[in-house]
Copies of this chain bind each other. A is one copy, B any other.
């Protein structure tokens, strides 16, 4: 395979984002361009858990929308703006950074809301609205909540455009972590080992046929492959019975008051008790939920929850992020774990994350298993 060379427009202005200078052209190349495809919008619009939650949040709480002004941050195809309009909003500003804005405008018109909804193409950071708004609605959640760092833009919008009495949709968010069992780790280890077997064959051939000794690259190649197969978190929709211990909240966010500084890092020390007989601890799963509760002064009439927790019937396109252990550890019901979790944005790309996870396991007898510490990237 040759190199990738995906298309993208160039824009060289820089913005400040969580203290990191971000080149907008690069950010578009890496990030926004995906959202310009209807196929991708359709994937999100087909997520029934996501759709039901926002739909029920809006139509179950019409008092937040009727006669009000609303801002939809990253409207995509325009669905949330249209629901806000259908729920009786006086005016909806629907901001979208990509060319998807043109489709949103068409969709708004086809649903007879062009008098209510104004679709604005631009970064929310650059947009000027003619008024402050009563509600900010946005579907900003990435994998494990914070990947993509899109919430930064929602916070920026809130600080600039939400009235002091305004309401955030969603209003709250939480991140969860739990110990799990899974066959994914064995599979990934086989993939890694297969890749290294290939490498050794390749190295022999290159020496034999082409007279070049590649052995000095074995270590960096192995590290690259380890990072790819073993130290990168995996997307998965787990079955609830794969969760082998109690889940714990590692971050709580009040969308009305949180700052970008508050979400730059996620650090937590949690405890979890193993709730499954004789099993293998194969790693940890991270997921999130968000809630639509309105505000203290202006509460929801019907509180709605959107959860991406392991579920037998209600998987989401977010799934869970799985952090694997190599090798797995034998554990039993009643074992107690202390897990230290830390997540930061990567230096190279503020939309990607690196995780450090350390763990101590205490048997009911009081015996401590050897502690371990691992690093992962969320890509």
Contact = CB atoms under 8 A, between A and B. Distances in A.
Interface in A30-79: 30-35, 37-40, 42-43, 45-46, 48, 51, 55, 77, 79
Interface stretch (A17-25, A176-184, A323-331): A17-25
A148 B107 CA distance: 37
A296 interface: no
A110 interface: yes
Given A26-B25, A45-B206, A7 B215 contact: no
Nearest to A110: B216
A106 B213 CA distance: 11
A220 B103 contact: yes
A224 B86 CA distance: 28
Contact of A212 (B8, B9, B40, B79): B79
Given A22-B10, A224-B37, A318 B379 contact: no
Q: Quick one: copies of this chain in the complex?
A: 2
Contact of A86 (B31, B106, B211): B211
Contact of A12 (B23, B29, B103): B23
B107 A217 contact: yes
Contact of A25 (B3, B23, B40, B195): B23
A346 B7 contact: yes
Interface string A136-167: 00000011000110000000000000000000
B6 A202 contact: no
Contacts of A3: 31-32, 34-35, 40, 142, 148
Contacts of A55: 209-210
Contacts of A253: none
A5 interface: yes
A10 B107 CA distance: 36
A205 B55 CA distance: 13
- Which of A7, A34, A48, A55 has the most B CB atoms < 10 Å from its CB? A7
A199 B209 CA distance: 52
A7 B348 contact: yes
A82 interface: yes
- Which of A32, A38, A209 has the most B CB atoms < 10 Å from its CB? A38
A209 B51 contact: yes
Interface in A80-121: 82-83, 86, 103, 106-107, 109-111
A86 B101 CA distance: 57
B29 A216 contact: no
Interface in A327-379: 346, 348-349, 351-352, 379
A351 B5 contact: yes
Contacts of A225: 39
B34 A4 contact: yes
Nearest to A98: B3
Contact of A39 (B4, B51, B221): B221
Nearest to A31: B5
Given A26-B8, A26-B25, A317 B1 contact: yes
B79 A224 contact: no
- Which of A35, A212, A221 has the most B CB atoms < 10 Å from its CB? A212
Interface in A186-234: 195, 198-199, 202, 205-206, 209-217, 220-221, 224-225, 228
Given A8-B349, A77-B217, 6 more contacts: A4-B31, A6-B352, A7-B352, A45-B206, A82-B212, A86-B211
Please name the 5 residue pairs, one residue from A and one from B, whose CB atoms are nearest each other, closest first: A110-B216, A5-B351, A3-B34, A29-B29, A7-B349
6 contacts: A4-B30, A7-B30, A106-B216, A106-B220, A109-B216, A111-B212
